[in-house]
Structure 1
Amino acid sequence: MATLTFEPSGIRDDYARAYLSPMMRAGTREFVANVHARLGVVQGDGFALPIAFDFERGDSYVVSPLSHYVGYGAEELSKLGRPRVEATLRSVLKSVGSGLEASGFDEVVSVNNWLLSTNLWPPLSTSEVRDVLEALVATFPNRPILFRSLDLARNALTFGALSSLGCVPLFSRVVHYQDPRRADFWHVRQLREDERRVRKVPAELVTTFTDDDLARVKVLYDDLYLRKYSTFNPQFTVAFLRNARDEGLLDLRGWRVDGELVAAWGAFVRSGVMTVPVFGYDTAASKKLALYRLSSLEVSRRARERGLLVNASGGVGAFKKARSGVTTVEFNLVFTRHLPWRRRLAWSALGRFLDRVAVPIILHGEY
Structure 2
Amino acid sequence: MIKWLLPSQVPNPQIKAWGELFHQYASQQLIENVRTDFRILSIAERWFLPVSINDAELDNSYVCSPYTACVTYSIEELNRNIRNPFLNKSLNLVLKGTSNWLIRNEINKTIHVNNFLLSTNPYPDWHGIYLPQIVRFLTEQFPGHTIIFRSLNQVQHSLLLREFERYDFRTGASRQVYYFHPNAQTWSRHNNIGNDRRLVQKSDLTYLSPEQMKNHVGQIRGLYNQLYIQKYSQHNPRFTETFFEKAFFNNLFRFEGYCDGEGILKTVVGLFELNGTITSPIVGYDLAEDPKKGLYIYAIDLILKRMHQTGQVLNLSSGAANFKRLRGGQGHLEYSAIYMNHLPPVRQRMWKTLLFLLNKIGIPLLEKYEL
TM-score range, shorter chain: over 0.9
Which residue matches 1:102?
104
> Percent identity over the alignment?
27
Which residue matches 2:19?
20
TM-score w.r.t. structure 2 length?
0.94
Question: CA deviation digits over 1:263-282, x for unaligned, max 9?
Answer: 10100000000000011000
Amino acid at match of 1:48: F
For the Cα contact (< 8 Å) 1:176–1:314, is it kept in 2?
A: yes
Which residue matches 1:48?
48
Q: CA deviation at 1:212?
A: 6.0
For the Cα contact (< 8 Å) 1:211–1:242, is it kept in 2?
A: no
Which residue matches 1:169?
171
Structure 1 residues without counterparts, runs of 5 or longer: none
Q: CA deviation at 1:146?
A: 0.6
Provide the rounded CA distance (Å) in 2 between the counterparts of 1:128 and 1:182: 38
For the Cα contact (< 8 Å) 1:181–1:308, is it kept in 2?
A: no
Partner residue of 1:327 out of 319, 325, 331: 331
For the Cα contact (< 8 Å) 1:303–1:310, is it kept in 2?
A: yes
Provide the rounded CA distance (Å) in 1 between the counterparts of 2:128 and 2:63: 26
Question: CA deviation digits over 1:22-70, x for unaligned, max 9?
Answer: 2223200111110000111111233211110125121000010000111
Provide the rounded CA distance (Å) in 2 between the counterparts of 1:114 and 1:239: 17
Which residue matches 1:86?
88
Q: CA deviation at 1:181?
A: 4.8
- Aligned residue runs from structure 1 range 60-209, under 5 A: 60-78=61-79, 79-207=81-209, 208=211
Larger deviation, residues 256-265 vs 272-281: 256-265
Alignment CA distance shift 1:138-1:181 (3 Å): farther
Q: Say whether residues 1:272 and 2:276 are aligned partners.
A: yes
Amino acid at match of 1:275: T
Amino acid at match of 2:27: T
Provide the rounded CA distance (Å) in 1 between the counterparts of 2:347 and 2:153: 26
For the Cα contact (< 8 Å) 1:23–1:30, is it kept in 2?
A: no
Question: CA deviation digits over 1:275-306, x for unaligned, max 9?
Answer: 00011000111233211111101111112222
Provide the rounded CA distance (Å) in 2 between the counterparts of 1:106 and 1:126: 24
RMSD after superposition: 1.6
Amino acid at match of 1:71: T
Alignment CA distance shift 1:140-1:325 (3 Å): same
TM-score w.r.t. structure 1 length?
0.95
Which residue matches 1:220?
223
Provide the rounded CA distance (Å) in 1 between the counterparts of 2:286 and 2:174: 29
Provide the rounded CA distance (Å) in 2 between the counterparts of 1:26 and 1:196: 43
Q: Say whether residues 1:357 and 2:358 are aligned partners.
A: no
Provide the rounded CA distance (Å) in 1 between the counterparts of 2:346 and 2:191: 54
Provide the rounded CA distance (Å) in 1 between the counterparts of 2:212 and 2:60: 29
For the Cα contact (< 8 Å) 1:180–1:301, is it kept in 2?
A: no
Q: CA deviation at 1:12?
A: 3.8
Amino acid at match of 2:241: V
For the Cα contact (< 8 Å) 2:176–2:370, is it kept in 1?
A: no
Which residue matches 1:59?
60
Q: CA deviation at 1:134?
A: 2.8
Alignment CA distance shift 1:82-1:243 (3 Å): same
Q: CA deviation at 1:342?
A: 1.2
Partner of 1:153, secondary structure, is: helix
Q: CA deviation at 1:358?
A: 2.4
For the Cα contact (< 8 Å) 1:180–1:186, is it kept in 2?
A: no
Provide the rounded CA distance (Å) in 1 between the counterparts of 2:160 and 2:222: 37
Which residue matches 2:320?
316
Which residue matches 1:283?
287
Structure 2 residues without counterparts, runs of 5 or longer: none
Provide the rounded CA distance (Å) in 2 between the counterparts of 1:144 and 1:225: 28
Provide the rounded CA distance (Å) in 1 between the counterparts of 2:128 and 2:300: 36
Provide the rounded CA distance (Å) in 2 between the counterparts of 1:287 and 1:146: 39
Alignment CA distance shift 1:362-1:127 (3 Å): closer
Q: Say whether residues 1:234 and 2:226 are aligned partners.
A: no
Q: CA deviation at 1:209?
A: 5.2
For the Cα contact (< 8 Å) 2:279–2:315, is it kept in 1?
A: yes
Q: CA deviation at 1:138?
A: 2.6
Partner of 1:154, secondary structure, is: helix
Q: CA deviation at 1:210?
A: 5.9
Which residue matches 1:30?
29
